[in-house]
Every structure is written in structure tokens, then in C-alpha cells.
Amino acid sequence: MEKRMPGISALIRCKDEEDFVYLSLLSIKDIVDEIVFIDNASCDNSINEAKKFRDSHFRDKRFVLDFYDEDTSTGNNLAEMNNYAISKTKGEWILKWDVDTIAQTFGEHSIFKIREAISRKGIDIFRFGYWNLWGDPFHFISNNKNEPEYGPTGCGFEMQGLEQRLFRFDKSFHYSMIQYGEHFWERPNFPTNFSQEHLEFVPGVHMQTVKPSEVIARRYFLTRYGPKERELYNTFLDFVITEVEKKKFSSPLEFGKNLLIDKLNRQGKRFERGYPLILESSDLLENPSYQFIFKEGKCVDRLEPNKKFNYFELK
């Protein structure tokens, strides 16, 4: 029987998330005992950001940096990458953490509460959700009196569905894929005797819209790039350019920006609430990468640094 290391192994998958790799890892560094970071054919600086974090903050713990070069967005091999990542872990517990999510490090929703959870007997799986961010982190009125005020309000948060994100390792556990229509989704397969519990606190904020517009466009078109489209177009890029022109935009970047602005105007106010993200590091607020522009309470534009990455190359 395999002897596992006491503690928590963070399972991290990354695809073009350079803006949040460092902050995401920084936010969980004191709650996990090892990090297994699997990069999935990123074409930005995600790997360098992971190395920077490792060399600055994780030298005394095990940090596995590995690669899965087949692009998992194009088929049913996402489960294979997950299983590969799990095979690299050594911890008794697995924390499946999204690298575009930043953990809350203190307060009522602190990530440290998962230590209390795994100390309880008889529970093998814990489900919890994230806050989905609609907008950017710079347009909120904070509920914390010690925080500066941000404004005008107009962005918001919604709860992302509960998922089985923290679970006890078992050698029989594996991920498989399930297909809905033309889309594939990952599914965890736990031992039948595993018991689970829902955690009430929400330990992370998912940076859903604080990303390069081209990344948003890429994911939008990938969900529509089914078997029919693969037969009609020589490459994924051919499909993207045709669709962008059909929708009368000048580029994938402009199309993605329009998607974000439209979503924010439709959904941001609907979920408007006090700013829930509390970090020990203020880097996110001091160095905004992306910011929405408001006029008379409506989002009209979005600032975005000029980056030149080939987000539409598939391997």
C-alpha cells in the first residue's frame, strides 16, 4: 500500500494565465504542503511566473513543474492531463485549484479553514464554490473599513457551482470525460464508499473576466469548434477569423473585448455586492492589468495591455 505524505497537494493546471499565476500560487502557499503545476501548452509567460513564485516563496517545499503539451481544449484528453497530474502528487489530500482563482487568506472565508475541514474524521470529499468576478477588481465599494473605496460600482460577483475540489487520495480514483452534445467535460470518479460534505465558506475569487480579450475569444470559439467545423476549416484559426469577420469585428481581440463589455453590462449590476476579496498581498489592486471604463453607470470600454501571443495556435 502506497504511503502518502501527510498534508495537502495542490493540483494546478495552467493554460495562458500569466496575469494570475503568481498571485494565485501566493494565495495558497501557506495552506498546501506541495504544488504540482502542469502547464498545458501555454504560449504566454505563465511558466516563468510559476518559476518566479517557486524561487521566491516555495523553496522549502516540493514544487513539481511539468508539462502536458497536447492542447486539452480540442478533445477529450483533459481527463488524461488530470490523471497525469495526480500521479505526480504525494499528499494524502488533493486540492484541485484553478490558477485563475485567488484565495482569500483571512476573514470568514479564509482558505485556511480547509485545514480544519480535513482534520475531521469520516469525510473524504469536500465541495466548495468560488466567487465568479464579473468585471475587474477596481470598481467596488469595499465593506472593509480598513480598505480604500473603489468606484464607481457596476461590477459584481456570482457564486460558481459547488465542485468536489478537495478530496482524499485513493489509488482507484481517476478522472474520465463525459460528453454533452459536442462538448466534453471532466468527471471525477471516487470510490463508492467515499463520503462528502459541502463547505459553507467561499475561499476564492475566480478572475472570470480579468483576462486578455483574445483568451476570452479563444474559449468562446473553442466551445463552438465541433466535428462539423473541423471538417469545414483547415485550422482553428481559419474558423475564428471567418466567424469574427461574419460578426463584423476587426480582430479576435475586438470580438473578445465586446463579449466582456456586453457580459458586464448585462450581468455585473445584477450581482452587485460588497467586494469580498481580501488578500494579504495588495499586488492585484496596485497593479491593474485590465480595467473596465464606465460612463454614466454603463461600461463603454476596457483598457488592455498590448500583448503579442498566438492564443489561437492549437497543438
Q: Does residue 208 carry a pLDDT above 90?
A: no
| Band of pLDDT at residue 228, cut at 50, 70 and 90 | confident
Match 467535460 to its residue by C-alpha cell.
185
Which has the higher per-residue pLDDT, 285 or 106?
Answer: 106
* Architecture field, domain 5-127+161-204: Alpha-Beta Complex (3.90)
Work out the average pLDDT over 283-299.
75
Reading the block at residue 240, the C-alpha cell is 475564428
In this prediction, what percent of the chain has a pLDDT beyond 70?
A: 82
**pLDDT digits 0-9 by tens, 251-278:** 999 999 999 998 888 776 655 454 455 5
Q: Does residue 292 carry a pLDDT above 80?
A: yes
* DSSP letter, residue 73: G
Contacts of 227 (CB under 8 A, 6+ apart): 182
Ramachandran region of residue 7, left (φ > 0), alpha (ψ -120 to 50) or beta? Answer: left
Question: In the predicted model, what is the mean pLDDT of the chain?
Answer: 84
Q: Does residue 142 carry a pLDDT above 80?
A: no
pLDDT the model gives residue 271: 55
The SS3 of residue 315 is: coil
Q: Does residue 151 carry a pLDDT above 50?
A: no
* DSSP letter, residue 208: S
In the chain, where the domains are located: 5-127+161-204
State how far the Cα of 245 lies from the Cα of 251, in Å rounded to an integer. 8
pLDDT the model gives residue 278: 55
pLDDT the model gives residue 112: 93
**pLDDT digits 0-9 by tens, 170-179:** 999 999 988 7
- Which burial class, exposed, middle or buried, applies to 283 when counting CB atoms under 10 A from its CB (0-12, 13-18, 19+)? exposed
pTM here is: 0.87
Contacts of 143 (CB under 8 A, 6+ apart): 274, 275
| Band of pLDDT at residue 313, cut at 50, 70 and 90 | confident
- Range in 3-17, 170-184, 200-214 with the lowest mean pLDDT: 170-184
DSSP per position, 118-151: HHSTT--EEEE--EEEES-TTS--BS-TTSPP--
Which has the higher per-residue pLDDT, 266 or 98?
Answer: 98
Q: Judge whether 291 and 302 are in contact, CB under 8 Å.
A: yes
